[in-house]
Amino acid sequence: MRAMERAEVDQRIRALIEPFNKKGVEIFEATTFAGDLEFDSLTVMDFVAAIEDEFDIIISMNQQAEIETWGQLIDAVCKLADD
Amino acid sequence: MSEGISQPDAPVALEATESGDLFSKFDPLIKQRSDLLASGVEDPFNLVMEKVLSPTRAVCNGRDTILLGTYNYMGMTFDPDVIQAGKDALDNYGSGTTGSRVLNGTYQGHKECEEALKEFYAMDHAMVFSTGYQANLGIISTIAGKGDYIVLDIDSHASIWDGCSLGNAEIVPFRHNDIEALEKRLKRIPEGAGKLVVLEGVYSMLGDIAPLKEMIAVSKAHGAMVLVDEAHSMGFIGPNGRGVAEDQGCLDDVDFVIGTFSKSVGTVGGFCVSNHPKFEIMRLVCRPYVFTASLPPSVVATAATSIRKLMHGGNKRAHLWENSKTLHGGLTKLGFTLGTTEPQSAIVAVIMPDLQRGAAMWEALLKEGLYVNLARPPATPANMTLLRCSLCAEHSAEEVETILGMFERAGKAVGII
């Protein structure tokens, strides 16, 4: 896979998160999924599945445990999509 | 997933608080519980059975009660042969082994119990654990190591999730019973990595079964090993009671079957059966097997006797199916919403509109003289409140009609139907 621009990954995931961001919370680098977005475990699973399908990657629960903020998610997907 | 419990099956890390009291993290749960009890409802998680009269009757909180939430599917707990075997073992071998299976804790009875399991499943190897929970904990955490992948259904039982947590493999869940979601994940696992797919025959929350045939075929096509937990199907589902995989004709493709003695077998304990040629090494490397005391001689004696009797339980299986169909059909007719549109197992889950009315309905049934399991968020899929009924082969046809009458009166009193 070609090296993906961080901005492009950010933009594609922003489109994916829309249906899950029911309260329309504004998203910054430091926005947290559990706190700011109030994602429960089922929402996390569906959101992660959407990202996995979009980029054809796997984000294991072990890797998810390291991801708390939007910025960390974008960094992780950039890295996984490049591998 | 597990019933009645106030936490989800997949473990959740609670945040530390600054008060210094390590119990502060439980404050929200303590409050939720006291609020529910303050509303006057009988405590659903503090029921005491003062007397047990039979597999289907007990005195609970002072009332004569029909048991419809015990997983005692085949009603073996009061079988005279089973009880006699237990008494004999107590007399001949004492009350406990006081030791690990790999030290001084393997008695003749443990070997006979494993022989009974090998015969029951027609498999080469059987390993008995002290509980079903430990069987999943031990096998899953031991066979999937660092760099391996475990792909599991999101609605898996707590013992499966905890087996994942105890080990070092990469954990990848997929949407419940979704064959395509499973396949997509298997495809994306890096080449060369070890893969274990973990499935259940019957999912105990809604009583639905898994499409094992398709899921196992997909798993095998991608080079994965397959573990199936048949806790809620053993003894009942399949021509020989071996479970959903047997019923769907794919048991030969299952690498590891996990089961329990605390449901159809009617005592306590867990097991794994397998045809893997190197399976016996598990006894030395599986920590939840090695570092705990083995089951008491009376328990393995009752288990072995019960398992052998279950091999010939065809008539009981047929009657249990009748009970399941009658209850499912009757509740549907009364206007209740159920977890499955057709009866798929011996579990019938009644979906409640909310926790408040679910708890009220549970209490109304208890006062009618009926015990069912109350299952509530966050232990339930999609945060549902469920009244879970598990039928027994010893429930008579008349008892099932009595149960339907109790549901009708309680449902109308609480305003659910």
Find out whether B328 and B338 touch, Cβ atoms under 8 Å.
yes
**Statement: residue B59 has pLDDT above 90:** yes
Q: What is the pLDDT of residues B5-28, one digit of tens each?
A: 567 788 777 777 777 899 999 998
**Statement: residue B235 has pLDDT above 90:** yes
Number of residue pairs across A and B with CB atoms under 8 Å? 36
**CATH 3.90.1150.10 at B38-74+314-414, yes or no:** yes
Q: For a pLDDT cut of 90, what percent of chain B falls above it? A: 87
Residue B168: per-residue pLDDT:
97
Comparing CA positions, the residue from B373, B395, B382 lying closest to residue B354 is B382
The minimum CA-CA distance between B82 and chain A, rounded to whole Å, is 43
pLDDT-derived band of residue B150, with 50, 70 and 90 as boundaries? very high
Q: What is the pLDDT of residues B77-132, one digit of tens each?
A: 999 999 999 999 999 999 999 999 999 999 999 999 999 999 999 999 999 999 99
Q: Cβ contacts of residue A16 below 8 Å, gap of 6+? A: A47, A50, A51, A54
Residues from chain A contacting residue B154 (CB–CB below 8 Å): 42, 45
Q: Which residues of B touch A (CB under 8 A)?
A: 8, 10, 12, 149, 154, 164, 170-175, 181, 184-185, 188-189, 382
**Statement: residue B299 has pLDDT above 60:** yes
Residues from chain B contacting residue A62 (CB–CB below 8 Å): 170-171
B63-67: list long-range contacts, CB under 8 Å, 24+ apart: B63/B366, B63/B367, B63/B369, B64/B369, B65/B366, B65/B369, B65/B370, B65/B371, B66/B369, B66/B370, B66/B371, B66/B395, B66/B399, B66/B402, B66/B403, B66/B406, B67/B371, B67/B392
pLDDT-derived band of residue A83, with 50, 70 and 90 as boundaries? confident
Q: Cβ contacts of residue B404 below 8 Å, gap of 6+? A: B326, B327, B330, B331, B334
Mean pLDDT value across residues B45-65: 93
Q: Does residue A38 belong to the interface with chain B, where contact is any CB pair within 8 Å?
A: no
Residue B57: per-residue pLDDT:
97
Q: Is B10–A42 a contact, with Cβ atoms under 8 angstroms apart?
A: no
pLDDT-derived band of residue B38, with 50, 70 and 90 as boundaries? confident
B1 by DSSP, 3-state: which? Answer: coil
Find out whether B248 and B210 touch, Cβ atoms under 8 Å.
no
Chain A CA closest to residue B383: A42
Residue A41: per-residue pLDDT:
84
Q: B237: which 2 tokens? A: 């589902």
Q: What angle do CA A24, A27, A33 make, to 5 degrees?
A: 85
Residue B29: per-residue pLDDT:
86
In chain B, list all ranges with CATH 3.40.640.10. 80-310
Question: How many Å apart are CA B256 and CA B274, to the nearest integer?
Answer: 5
**Statement: residue A1 has pLDDT above 60:** no
Q: Does residue A7 belong to the interface with chain B, where contact is any CB pair within 8 Å?
A: no
Q: Is A60–B181 a contact, with Cβ atoms under 8 angstroms apart?
A: no
pLDDT-derived band of residue B47, with 50, 70 and 90 as boundaries? confident
Find out whether B79 and B392 touch, Cβ atoms under 8 Å.
no
Under DSSP, the state recorded for B282 is H
Q: What is the pLDDT of residues B169-197, one digit of tens each?
A: 999 999 999 999 999 999 999 999 999 99
Comparing CA positions, the residue from B238, B244, B149, B254 lying closest to residue B204 is B244
B79 by DSSP, 3-state: which? Answer: coil
pLDDT-derived band of residue A2, with 50, 70 and 90 as boundaries? low
Q: Is B184–A52 a contact, with Cβ atoms under 8 angstroms apart?
A: yes
Q: What is the pLDDT of residues A3-45, one digit of tens each?
A: 579 999 999 999 999 999 999 999 999 999 999 999 988 899 9
Mean pLDDT value across residues B128-150: 98
Residue B352: per-residue pLDDT:
97
Residues from chain A contacting residue B171 (CB–CB below 8 Å): 60-62
Find out whether B406 and B369 touch, Cβ atoms under 8 Å.
yes
Comparing CA positions, the residue from B247, B241, B261 lying closest to residue B216 is B247
In chain B, list all ranges with CATH 3.90.1150.10. 38-74+314-414
Question: How many Å apart are CA B245 and CA B171, to the nearest integer?
Answer: 24
- Across chain B, mean pLDDT equals 95
Q: For a pLDDT cut of 70, what percent of chain B falls above it? A: 99
Q: Is B10–A41 a contact, with Cβ atoms under 8 angstroms apart?
A: yes
The minimum CA-CA distance between B145 and chain A, rounded to whole Å, is 13
Residue B9: per-residue pLDDT:
83
Q: In CATH, what class is B80-310?
A: alpha beta
Best mutation target among B171, B182, B196 (most A Cβ atoms within 10 Å) is: B171
Q: What is the pLDDT of residues B342-365, one digit of tens each?
A: 999 999 999 999 988 999 999 999
Distance of CA B386 to the CA centre of its chain: 16
